[in-house]
Structure 1
Amino acid sequence: MLLIRRFRKYIVAISAFQLMVSILHAQNMPAVKDSVMVIETNVPEKGVTVTGTVTDATTRKSIAGIRVQVENFSAAITDSTGQFKLQVPSYTSAVTVEGEGYNTRRVALKGRRSIAIALLDDEHKSFSEKVTTPLGIKSKTDVTAAVEQYNVNSGWAQPNETPDAILQGRIAGLYAIRRSGSPGVGANLFLRGYNSLYGTNKPLIVVDNMLFDANDYGQSIIANNYTNPLALIDMKDVDNITVLKDATAIYGTKGANGAIIITTAKAKTQATKIDFATYAGFNEAPKNLPVMDAADYRIYLNEILQTKGMSSSAIQAEPYMNDDPQNPQYARYHYNTDWQKKVMESSINQSYFLKVTGGDNIATYGLSMGFTRNSGIIKETDITRYNTRFNADFNFTRKFTGAANLSFTYNEQNLKDQGIADNTAPLYLSLVKAPFLHNRELNEKGVESPNLSERDTLGITNPSAIIEGMQAYNKFYRFFGTFQFNYEISTHFKASSLIGVVYDKVREDFFVPRKGITDDTLSNDIAQSRMGTQVKRLFTIYNDTWLAYNTTVNNKHNINARLGIRNQINKAEQRFGRSFNSATDDLVSVQSGSAALRQVGGGIGNWNWMNIYLGIDYGFKSKLFLTLHAAVDGSSRFGDDVPDGIRTKGKNLAIMPSVGAAWLISSENFMARSTIDILKLRVTYSMTGNDDIGNYNNRRTYISQNLLGAQGLVRSGIGNPALGWENVRKLNAGFDLAFWNERVSLSVDAFRNETDNMLVYQPLSTISGFTATLTNGGKMRNNGVEATLNVRVVNGRNFKWDAGLNAGQFRNRIIEIPNDGFITEYAGASILTYEGLTATQFYGYTTNGVYGTNAEAAAIKKPNADGSYSNFKGGDVRFVDLDGNNIIDESDRQVIGDPSPDITGGYNNRFIWKNFELNTLFTFSYGNDIFNYLRYRLESGSGVENQLVSVNNRWRGEGHITNTPRASWGDPMGNSRFSDRWIEDGSYIRLRSLSLQYNWPVKRSVFLKSIAVYAIANNVFTLTEYKGYDPEFSVTPSVFSQGIDTGLDPQFRSVTLGVRLGL
């Protein structure tokens, strides 16, 4: 007991305020006696009395100790028989019923003098739950906007999840796509589709009332790796996540894509509570892609070298093609290596977490510390996180209060290149490396040495040399802190000011040795070994100061208003250095490279934002609700000549208004006999903005450049002083329905977003020295529908079953764009953006099999760069000649796919039997197309790289009928050009999560209060027709890269065992 007291004093001593408070045990609430306990607040001179009973909807037994209240009027506590008596303004009022372990319910009297209320447990979704809004915490029944909240009760049993990824399949309309299988990278989020082409489509992230920069500012120097700031938040520190889908105008030019509000957990009681959790498990490497074995590859290699022009004798003279066992090189070239198993392996994960909460009447606190290590399925990759958080609430006086939310996190990652990095991405190399080779040096007898083999004579890197020799690190430090001070001026007025500080530092280092790895070609040399380092920093100061007004007039009119101003100052910088060709592979630092080849660079990114906002929420008799929100924004990113907004002091300010209305029909007297618990209609219209237009695109920029020893300035950006924010107009209409004591609830929303002043690139005359400049010259429309259904299917005493289904659909159209449209090239794909069509569609050639004979192909030609033509032959792809001129060229391209899904969503179940709890979560996507870049490379049949086994079905000679073209060195006829050959259906259904938890019965104990043990499996199985590793990936947040599988590390199955102790 003495140790616990000392530990409490230590916790308080390390707080930012350095307050020395005495921590006492919270006093227990007095036992509820048979008499009715009534608590009157602001007792009116007039009122009427209502009586009622509260029962458990499962056991049908009465519940004591439940609070029944009319806000700002009166409250009562149920007695041992579940009865209460309460003064209410009128028989048309509504009462709020809440108690520990039960769902909060808002019940309208509808003229009744006595009511019976049944409560479900708090694990079931309720429309009366409290949700976080820009104006504070409110009952969901009072909100006019489309809002959903995810309560992170199971966050303790969600290993390795990040706040963005954990929302996948849980929120209707939130298209969350895991970036890859690399630990901690999280998900790219698209809330209700796309609102921009070149601006961000990410929702605004707000953590503990402060805007949270979730962007990976500055590009990683480790190929295709992503630093996710949200991975620094431990889900066990999160209390709830609220998703605002519309009516985010109060956030001004930050609210175009909705908002995700993350609230971290605080002490809920004054009693000291200690929670400890730990888990450990393993990650299972995914199944191999079916590439050729050594025998099939040797046959293919013989063919491809013949098409290169080599004679049969010359081919057989190559040591890797000589099958004579007496050949001294025979042993070195007659293995059947599974290179994917040399690169991927099953791995382990582990975590430890400790949280202490408590306090007294002066202060409550929560202190947590965590350690997590998760290894990837690519060998020698992992992430390690150390995190600590301190949250506290202070009562300085009766009217003056404060809060602090402080966190520090350190992430360390061991990484490898991935995706499109032909010489250094181990996963890609494991697919193309010749299988008859070994990863170690061998002598003539085939005896293996400990030394890695060099790159082969075919010019392909040894994947094991990357795994064992490449060093790549990412170290991420973040301090995130907010301090809030509140003062109650009077009964109706309250002032508050929040000050927030963020400091980030990201350091990256890499070294690629020369041993076993293919050289890179520089402009003036050959790069053998290469090394690099980079440091990125972000410093943010944030302030939100506001005055709030709350009142109730005649017990009918509820008014909640807030007037405030937000300011944000951001300073970012990036510095990097690269060098090449150190003397040996033991010298790995940048300074050890050749001075003549050294490269240095960097940049800055400073920007400021101001937001003046007004929010008014009005309620009439708790059944009619109106909202009026507005914001006026200024930003250093806006140009001086922006034509929109209001102009002041030479700058234009953006104006963002929104209105909303809701009618809680179920609270009307004429619904008194209805079995419907909740029936609510909602509509909102808002104008929001997107200020993600670049920090300096509104002005001319210059860079330093050296020419023949002379240093000078060169213009790097032409600048557009008229560049401003994107305007997004949003219209949302929906309804909420619940019945059977809210055992069944349904929400449906339809929305329409229209973006004006959308960022696009306007082509420029060549005389300007630039090809294009960024302008506000586009317009796009986005429509969709979404629905959420939650059902308590079975509500027995020993067995309960909750089921939930959500689904969302969106479809966009380009309304206006310069020159009617454009084509974007990315990773071998052509993406079409054109007026009247859906944005970012795959644009290429359609095919109709393969020519079986030369005669079939004789009439079809391909234009060459020199103006001549080449005739197609037997074995070439039969491209559809759209214009009928017998020439296959760019005029024969058309839309061949759409990466946007027709529908996405999730289906979850929760089964409770006695002390056991089983949870399942399925996620699905339907109708999205994928460009399989890996298959495009592994079925091209144009080089010495190993191929998929499907290439064994290639065309072999006259009359052969197949859909796989002939092997041909260099692909002179363009058989592997971007076409529907590489477009696949990316639809899938995945059992994302399966968990089983047992809540161990604990007898009364001085220390131990609860025990829960659990097992959880993630990515249990996936049903899909997609031929790649994984149908779910997102290379970058850009809309132009969606649906392009560049071979990032795939997601994997994991199984974890854990325990949580409550002390």
Structure 2
Amino acid sequence: MNIALISVAMSFCVDASAQNIEDDSLKASVEAEFILDSTQLYVIDELVVVGYGVSRKSVLTGANSSLSAVQSENSNVESALQGRIAGLNVWMSEGGEMGEVEVTVRGGTSITGNNAPLYIVDGFPVDNISNLPVSDILRIEVMKDAAACAIYGARAAGGVIIVTTKKARGDGLETSYKSQYGFSTFKNKLKVLSPYNYAKFCYETAAMKSEETLESFISVYGSYDELAKYQSVEQNDWVDQLFGENGFFMNQSLLMKYKKDKTAYKISYDYNDNNGILVGQNSRRHNFGMNVNHEVSEYLSFDLNTSYYNKIQNGAGVSTEGSNTDARLRNALLYSPLNIEDVEDFESVSSTYNPIAVNNADYRKQTQNGVRGDLGVTITPVSFFDFKSQIGVNGMFRETDRCYGVGTSQALKNGNAPMASILNLRQSTFRNSNTANFYPLKKLKRHSLSLLVGEEFIKKKESYNQSESRYFPEYLNAEQCLANMSLGTPQPSNSAVLPNDVIMSYFGRAKYSYDDKYIFSATYRADRSSKFASGRQWGHFPSVSAAWRISEENFLKYSQVISDAKLRYSIGATGNNRVSSNLFQQIYTSPSDADGVLEIDGEYLSYLKTGEYKPNPDLTWETTVSRNIGLDLGFLRNRFQLTLDVYRNTTEDLLLQTKLPYSSGYTYMMQNVGSTENKGVELSLSVGVVNRKNFKFDVDFNIAFTDTKINSLGGADKMEMSSGWAGSEITGDYILEVGESVGRMYGYETDGWYTVDDFEYEDGTYTLKEGMVSDATLLAGNIRPGSLRLKDQNGDGTIDESDKVVIGNALPKHTGGLQLKFQLWNFDLAAYFYWKYGGDVYNANKIENTTTNKYSYRNMSTDVEGCWTYLNSEGGIASPEEMAQINANATMWSPIMTRYVFHSWAVEDGSFLRLQQLTLGYTLPSKWTDKIKLSKVRVYASANNLFCWTKYSGFDPEVSVRRATSATPSVDYSAYPRSTAFAFGLDVDF
């Protein structure tokens, strides 16, 4: 081949044509430059999507990262992003289809607010991209600093993720079909006591409680001497029964693209079917998409994008349920390991709940429909000016049907009678955007100037309605209850039309380049938000940035080693208004009483009550100022590429949820108080290690270091936050403190356990010796040998709130990813790793499964197998001398406690290295596919979450459930276990 410069209508360039091209050198024709190196073409410049436009990567002044190939092996967009881009953290709160995905760019800066990025799909802002099919995605851009994000102003403090979908390219018809089948398995289990150890432990618990309790136990389980019979009893593994199914999943997608003359079409369909490992849980999703682009003339063109999805999810969640009976994983761990027929009248002595029965009795079906459509018109009257107008709508309707059958927590609150509810949620967004691009210096050779001005109007509506009916006859199943709500006792409906969320914006950008060597850019955006009171609605977000392409200087321009070198700097502001729309004004709501009426002197009066938030008319924008300096390097004709960014973000006027005293009549108030600082370093490397005709080996590596600090809490030195997993028993288990980071865990330091030598013993009573620290007040029980001991930090002899200290930090020291790609002849092999180093996990499961609190005759984790015991070999309460001898080799305190306590033993290192995906593929030779009139055929096998190397003792270290706010991360409590998935796929291009 003898190619030096190719002007191509490559897929991305054409697909991005609907966007405004901000660089005048790209206006006449979209070019990508390649250089020939004997056997391999190396791209040295490419196009990337920026806010309201497209730019060459070589002249970017902001911190942007791109993902241009989203592999079809990924079942969802989020998993395709994990570990792929430096500074982009994608964490799964738990496994399963219903697990939330937490996405942050550079860690986020808000404390109790929303740190999620702004998502833009083909120019339209959306709340998330979880329902977007992977097969329809062409490219993803992640914008990190103010130079890249300030053009989006109000909602861009958490970064911006721009998704470009596939569109028609080239003349004629192109068709692609992708098919994938696979299964998932439960990878990791927590071990619980065997039937024999369980029976012995329950005997000891009963013996320590009272003689009456012990007699009740013996009547069901047998005497101490009879417990040996349980050694031959087979264990009933409730976790395996509840989560032991092999999940099945299937993906089918069809994409058709056609272009003729000046008209291009794209039609896509995607079907996803996923049956989870939890009994009864499954989801199905249909996606339809269409794009039409028509060039009426050289002066006028139209672009139409439409999409629709339907998603149905069946089955209740795991960790999102607040009650004891609804937490499936918890019930599976604590329920008796004995087969019920082995024990007579078990339910009469146990306060635990059968996990299978509860799971079967709890019905949940969620149906969601979404539609999006936008039309763009571009007018180009002269070569140096164009005008584009877009109008679009985005709608979502979601219905959630719940039926709580006999035995569930909701039914137990109502005489154990079934109850049902139907919740309908409606959201709609209208958007109109108008932009004008000017290129006044188009004809000058070395000077380039592009100007963009625009305005945007976005209006979001939301409403909901919930109907509920109770006391259904027990013989009705869930479908019958939901279809005949009048057969129960109807409750007052709960409905609301929320205030409109309206943003009116004006923005502009100017970019100047001299000889493609010195580039300067400035943006400005002004947003007016209806979420704030008059006089506080406007936010102003400017940015300036510059870049120096060192490689274009004469001393480097002809270097055979350094092919690209660019230094970047930016500073600017972005905003955050992600709070409810009614926090600045007084809101009244219907009461939650059964009838919604108040009885006064025999008369019944309807009434309204104030909402839980006290109005704050001074509420306004949260503003983040971002500073970034970056270096882009390319060596050996870009076979080796390096990007280094150093940044510092400061956020003022934090939108902070503060708790109010009960006497105020309110629960919370949203205020602009405090500030945070976020700084870090990001490094990305891309290396083409081997580039031969029949063998290629590429390595992509990224690592990010992030440090967040609280500079102010609005006058307070510290503020305690509660995760809420244990209700009111554990409060203030996280702390915010000026000068420290977010995510610090606050509790007691474990100090072993009390021994016999710590007590005076007389007539069966143990009394702490003088000078010994007492935990009795905190643990709400009698302190005896074997009791958990906590460290007395202030030396006052009593353990109380003043002895709490920081015992963990959820924030990791660094995160990163590694991608290895091989190609040998027609075979391809890819391995994707990502990791987190540092960052503790709050293992609440560990606390609950080693504490007898709340439940009688519950099972425990195997952590307690070496715990302190009070029984002698005959099953009686040991004397002090016997007890000391029996427990000489104990490995843990006695779990017989009457309340939960958060202490350092439950905080574990959450570091991990995960092999997220391993894929082996084979592409059929063209001499075979040509014979059957096919362009390309590829088959592959892949495995997801194949290995996770970690010291964490729980199911998985990547977990963050029961989060009351962003300030309480990394809690592991009854989370849906992550599974390992194996898939086999076929990709065909016609």
Range class of TM-score, shorter chain: 0.7 to 0.9
Taking structure 1 as reference, are residues 585 and 65 closer, same or farther at Cα in structure 2, changes over 3 Å only? Answer: farther
1:517-553 superposed Cα distances (whole Å, 9 cap, x missing partner): 567654xx53443322211110111111111112425
Asked if residue 853 in structure 1 is aligned to residue 756 in structure 2, the reply is yes
Distance in 1 between the 2:471 and 2:233 partners?
A: 33
Task: Tell me what 1:536 maps to.
Answer: 425
CA–CA separation in structure 1 for the residues paired with 2:737 and 2:821: 45
Partners of 1:443 and 1:777 lie apart in 2 by 60
- Separation in 2, partners of 1:287, 1:1015: 23
* SS of residue paired to 2:493: strand
The one of 42, 46, 49 equivalent to 1:132 is 49
Residue equivalent to 1:679: 565
User: Which region of structure 1 is more displaced relative to structure 2, 580-589 or 138-147?
Assistant: 580-589
Match of 1:626 among 520, 538, 562: 520
Matched residue, 2:296: 396
Structure-2 separation of matches of 1:326 and 1:234: 56
Q: Does 1:570 align with 2:460?
A: yes
Q: In the TM superposition, what whole-angstrom CA distance separates every residue of 1:1019-1057 from its partner, at most 9, and x where no partner exists?
A: 011000111111112335942331101222121111111
Q: Secondary structure at the match of 1:296?
A: helix
> Is the CA contact 2:99–2:976 (under 8 Å) kept in the aligned structure 1?
no
1:442-489 Cα deviation digits (max 9, x unpaired): 599x9xxxxxx9966412222221343432111110001111110002
- Correspondence for 2:543 among 658, 681, 684: 658
Offset at residue 246 of structure 1 (A): 1.0
- C-alpha distance in 2, partners of 1:968/1:385? 48
What is the distance in 2 between the residues matched to 1:241 and 1:194?
20
- The aligned residue for residue 242 of structure 2 is 343
Q: Contact 1:842/1:896 (CA < 8 Å) preserved in 2?
A: yes
Counterpart of 1:707, as a letter, is L
In structure 1, the residue matched to 2:877 is: none
Corresponding position: 1:753 with 2:654? no
Distance 1:543 1:659 in 2: 26
Q: CA deviation at 1:686?
A: 0.7
Q: How many angstroms does 1:336 deviate by?
A: 2.1
- Correspondence 1:919-934 to 2 at 5 A: 919-934=830-845
TM-score, with length taken from structure 1: 0.82
Give the equivalent residue in structure 1 for 2:194.
293
From the superposition, tell whether residues 94 and 507 of structure 1 become closer, same or farther in structure 2 (CA, over 3 Å): closer
Determine helix, strand or coil for the equivalent of 1:182.
coil
1:282-318 deviation per Cα after TM superposition (whole angstroms, max 9, x unaligned): 1112232111111111111111112222358604543
Of 635, 638, 641, the residue aligned with 1:739 is 635
- Per-residue deviation at 1:576? 1.6
1:579 Cα shift? Answer: 3.4
Aligned to 1:31: none
Give 1:940 deviation, angstroms.
1.5
* 1:825 equivalent in structure 2: 722
CA distance in structure 2 between the aligned counterparts of 1:188 and 1:702, rounded to whole angstroms:
32
Secondary structure of the residue aligned to 1:181 is: coil
Question: In structure 2, what is the Cα distance between the partners aligned to 1:955 and 1:815?
Answer: 45
Query: Matches of 1:135 and 1:204 in 2, distance apart?
Result: 14
Matched, 1:1025 2:951: yes
Equivalent positions of 1:359-370 (< 5 A) are 359-370=259-270
Q: Is the counterpart of residue 283 in structure 1 residue 223 in structure 2?
A: no
Following the alignment from structure 1 to structure 2, what is the Cα–Cα distance between the partners of residues 616 and 301?
Answer: 74
Residue 498 of structure 1 contacts residue 544 of structure 1 at CA under 8 Å; is this kept in 2?
yes
Instruction: Give the letter aligned to residue 138 of structure 1.
Output: S
Establish whether residue 1014 from structure 1 lines up as the match of residue 940 from structure 2. yes
TM-aligned CA deviation for residue 325 of structure 1: 9.4
Matched, 1:151 2:68: yes
Matched length = 918
Partner of 1:511: 403
* Alignment map for 1:241-390 (pairs within 5 Å): 241-247=140-146, 248-311=149-212, 314-321=215-222, 336-344=235-243, 345-390=245-290
Q: Which residue of 2 aligns with 1:486?
A: 378
The answer (yes or no) to whether the contact 2:377–2:390 under 8 Å persists in 1 is yes
Does the 8 A contact of 1:753 with 1:782 survive in 2? Answer: yes
- The aligned residue for residue 669 of structure 2 is 773
Partner SS state of residue 172, structure 2: coil
Aligned to 1:46: none
1:946-985 mapped onto 2 (5 Å cutoff): 946-957=859-870, 958-959=883-884, 960=887, 961-968=889-896, 970-971=898-899, 976-985=900-909
Change (3 A) 1:359 1:578: same
Q: Which residue of 1 is the match for residue 788 of structure 2?
A: 877
Residue 650 of structure 2 aligns to which amino acid in structure 1? Answer: E
Deviation sequence 1:917-963 (CA, Å, 0-9, x none):
10110010010100111111101244432111111111125332534
In structure 1, what is the equivalent of residue 13 of structure 2? Answer: none
Give the Cα separation in 1 of the matches to 2:589 and 2:662.
Answer: 20
Deviates more, 1:561-570 or 1:600-609: 600-609
How many Å separate the matches in 2 of 1:293 and 1:1037?
35
Cα distance in 2, alignment partners of residues 1000 and 454 from structure 1: 62
Distance 1:562 1:844, change over 3 A: same
Query: Which residue does 1:586 correspond to in 2?
Result: 476
Is the partner of 1:737 in helix, strand or coil? Answer: strand
Question: Is the 2:917–2:944 Cα contact (8 Å) retained in structure 1?
Answer: yes
- What residue number does 2:313 align with? 413
Contact 2:384 2:442 in 1 (8 A): no
Following superposition, the deviation at residue 862 of structure 1 comes to 4.4
Query: Which amino acid letter does the alignment assign opposite residue 982 of structure 2?
Result: V
2:442 to 552, 555, 565: 552
Q: Say if 1:363 and 1:120 are closer, same or farther in 2 by CA, change over 3 A.
A: farther
Q: Which residue of 2 aligns with 1:601?
A: 494
Instruction: Give the structure 1 partner of residue 818 of structure 2.
Output: 907
CA-CA distance at 1:995 after TM superposition:
0.4
TM-score by length of 2: 0.88
CA distance in structure 2 between the partners assigned to 1:533 and 1:933 by the alignment:
32
Residue 892 of structure 1: how far off its partner (Å): 0.6
Q: How has the CA–CA distance of structure 1 residues 990 and 96 changed in structure 2, closer, same or farther, with 3 Å as cutoff?
A: farther
Q: Secondary structure of 1:272's match?
A: strand
Tell me which amino acid in the other structure corresponds to 1:956.
T
Gaps of 5+ in 1: 1-60, 70-92, 107-115, 215-229, 447-452, 643-651
Q: Which amino acid aligns with 1:371?
A: Y
Which one is further off, 243-252 or 455-464?
A: 455-464
CA distance in 1, matches of 2:515, 2:252: 49
Q: Does 1:461 align with 2:353?
A: yes
CA distance in 1, matches of 2:848, 2:214: 29
* Equivalence for 1:617: 511
Q: Identity over the aligned pairs, expressed in percent? A: 25
Q: Within 1, Cα distance between the matches of 2:624 and 2:517? A: 30
Matched residue SS, 1:428: helix
Indicate how the Cα distance of structure 1 residues 1015 and 1006 shifts in structure 2: closer, same or farther if over 3 A, else same: closer
Q: Which 5+ residue runs of structure 2 have no aligned equivalent?
A: 10-24, 592-596, 760-767, 871-882
Name the aligned partner's letter for residue 93 of structure 2: R
**Rounded Cα–Cα distance in structure 1 between residues aligned with 2:202 and 2:548:** 72
Q: Could you say which residue in structure 2 is the equivalent of 1:711?
A: 606
Secondary structure of 1:405's match? strand
Quickly say closer, same or farther: Cα 1:809–1:268, change in 2 above 3 A.
Answer: same
Question: 1-side partners of 2:697 and 2:48: how far apart?
Answer: 24
Please tell me whether residue 178 in structure 1 is matched to residue 130 in structure 2: no
Query: C-alpha offsets along residues 87-107 of structure 1, whole Å, 9 cap, x if unaligned?
Result: xxxxxx9999999xxxx448x
Matched, 1:986 2:910: yes
What is the root-mean-square deviation in Å for CA atoms of aligned residues?
2.9
| Aligned partners of 1:987 and 1:1031 also within 8 Å | yes
Deviation at 1:185, TM superposition (A): 4.3
Whether 1:702 and 2:618 are equivalent positions in the alignment is no
Contact 1:232 1:410 in 2 (8 A): no
